[in-house]
Structure 1
Amino acid sequence: MELLNFMYSGTLNASTAPALLDVLMAADKFEVASCMRHCSRLLRNLAMTPESALLYLDLPSSVLMADAVQPLTDAAKQFLAARYKDISKYQDEVMNLPLAGIEAILSSDDLQVASEDAVYDFVLKWTRTHYQKLEERRDILSSRLGRYIRFPYMTCRKLRKVLTCSDFDHDFATKSVLDALFFKAEAPHRQRTHAIEEST
Structure 2
Amino acid sequence: MPVQGKICGLSDQTSVDTAVSHGARFIGLVFYPSSPRYIDPELAAQLASNVPDNVDKVGLFVDPDDFLIQTVLESVKLDWIQLHGSESPDRVRVIRQKFGIRVLKAVKISDKADFEEAKSYEKVADMLLFDAKAPKNMANALPGGNGLVFDWRMMQGLEFSIPWMLAGGLTAENVAEAVKISGAEIVDTSSGVESEPGRKDPAAIAAFLAALAEIER
Q: Given the two structures, how large is their TM-score scaled by the length of structure 2? A: 0.25
Higher-Rg structure is 1
The structure showing larger relative contact order (alpha-carbon pairs under 8 Å, at least 6 residues apart) is 2
Q: Which structure has the highest strand share of the two?
A: 2
TM-score by length of 1: 0.27
More helix by percentage? 1
